Structure 1
Amino acid sequence: MALINPYLHYNGNAEEAFNFYKSVFGGEFAMIARFKDLENPEQPFPEEEANKVMQIALPIGKTNVLMGSDVPNVLGKVNEQENRSKISISAESKEEADHLFNGLSAGGNVEMPIADSPWGSYFGMFRDKYGIEWMVDFDPKYNGQV
């Protein structure tokens, strides 16, 4: 079956954000590549962008990977206030949901505190300190499997 892995864009702080996510989810980066790794001698990246992240991958769980990159200045800035999408996490327990919600929302803006919801799951929403929107859910009917 196909997998869906979120890919996030940052304005120069992808490595900082992913180190933060790693501190909450645990694990190690599967890869980290910088723009200088693709450097073409005929058209080098500007020095101030050479160490920015071209691609980073953090495995989460057994099959998921959170991926991201910095956006080179030539492509413009990422709108950090857009709200067209959220990353949804299905936890395996209330304790795991609390850990992920509290860890990832630290320094961010909680939109809906994690609590029992009217539809029967344990649910909360927030925007993290890097502008990424998340939903954390634990549904005992599915035991974290949606």
Structure 2
Amino acid sequence: MLVQPYLFFEGRCEEALEFYKKALGAQVTMLMRNKDNPEPEGNKMQMPPGTENKVMHCEFKIGETTLMCSDGFCRGASAFQGFSLAISVADAAQARKAFDALSEGGKVDMPLAKTFFSESFGMLTDKFGIGWMLQTTPK
């Protein structure tokens, strides 16, 4: 069994992918657009007109983790609630770099700082509404 996050960016998927490439070195491993659907008539998901070039399905890697995403129904407003993506890095410098990059245009929920369980730990919500928790891996 494998559990993987699937993120729906409601029309902002490519913007999010570019942001995560810059912020975290994300690598897109597969991308399919709505126009690439081999069975558009048989698809139960009816897409709004003008969304042919939007992302139907994408897989990307951040470090060793594969995430999946799409533009969803292109409704314009994503609602990411009740979860955060957690990143563990080797040292405080890596944590700071990733934290600062992800928080650009977003909101810091808990500043990156030393805690009783980690040399560096912080929480933020990025500009797409994704919650992130960053920490150094305990040694």
Please tell me the TM-score bracket, short chain as reference.
Answer: 0.7 to 0.9
State the secondary structure of the residue aligned to 2:28: coil
The equivalent residue for 1:136 is 134
Counterpart AA for 2:59? A
Greater CA deviation, 64-73 or 126-135? 64-73
How well do the aligned residues superpose, as a CA RMSD in angstroms?
2.3
The count of residues paired between Structure 1 and Structure 2 equals 136
> Using a 3 Å threshold, how does the CA distance of structure 1 residues 103 and 40 change in structure 2: closer, same or farther?
same
Instruction: Compute the TM-score of the two structures, normalised by the length of structure 1.
Output: 0.80
Is 1:18–2:17 an aligned residue pair? yes
* Counterpart check, 1:100 vs 2:98: yes
Change (3 A) 1:31 1:118: same
Letter in 2 for 1:65: T
> What is the aligned partner in structure 2 of residue 51 from structure 1?
53
Q: State the TM-score, normalized to the length of structure 2.
A: 0.84
Contact 1:3 1:64 in 2 (8 A): no
Structure 2 unaligned spans of 5+: none
Whether contact under 8 Å (2:20, 2:26) holds in the other structure is no
Output one character per residue of 1:66-124: Cα deviation in whole Å (capped at 9) or x when no partner.
22111125xx67652x4300000011111111111111111100000101013344100
Kindly indicate whether the alpha-carbon contact (under 8 Å) linking 2:118 and 2:135 is maintained by their aligned counterparts in 1: no
Matched residue, 1:71: 72
Structure 1 match to 2:114: 116
Q: Which amino acid aligns with 1:105?
A: S
Higher deviation after alignment, 109-118 or 43-52:
43-52
Using a 3 Å threshold, how does the CA distance of structure 1 residues 6 and 41 change in structure 2: closer, same or farther? Answer: closer
Task: State the Cα distance separating 1:28 from its structure 2 match.
Answer: 3.1
- 2:7 is matched with 8
Whether the 8 Å contact between 1:39 and 1:45 is mirrored in structure 2 is no
